[in-house]
Amino acid sequence: MPPETTLAVPVAVEPVRTDPASRFGAPQAFTAVSFPVLGGALHVAGVPLQDIFVLLGGCGALGAAAVVAVGGGRRRAAALAGAVLRAAAGK
């Protein structure tokens, strides 16, 4: 008696999402509110605008670097580097 054979039928498979969905939470809200407030307070205190932008830009870069370091991932680091280059080019 010949062995039974079965035909394989291809089945569409949904792609598996590996990254968790990003959400707007308290850390993002705090940053979105605190940076303009801090910039305004420094300007009222008499700090030149260029110094304020350098200070807040440095703080933002350190925060982004910390997120990349904690979250890991080559794709995030590449996205951060691209954003820094675009910002430096003025685009």
- Kindly give the confidence (pLDDT) of every residue in the chain, 91 residues in length, as a single tens digit, with 9 standing for 90 and above: 566 666 666 666 666 666 565 676 787 788 778 888 988 999 999 999 999 988 888 888 887 777 777 776 677 777 878 888 888 877 6
The pLDDT of residue 70 is: 74
Q: For residue 17, what pLDDT is reported?
A: 61
- Quick one: which of 55, 28, 20, 58 has its CA closest to 39? 55
Provide the whole-model pTM.
0.49
Q: What is the pLDDT of residue 91?
A: 60
Please list, in sequence order, all residues whose beta carbon lies within 8 angstroms of the beta carbon of residue 56, skipping any fewer than 6 positions away. 35, 38, 39
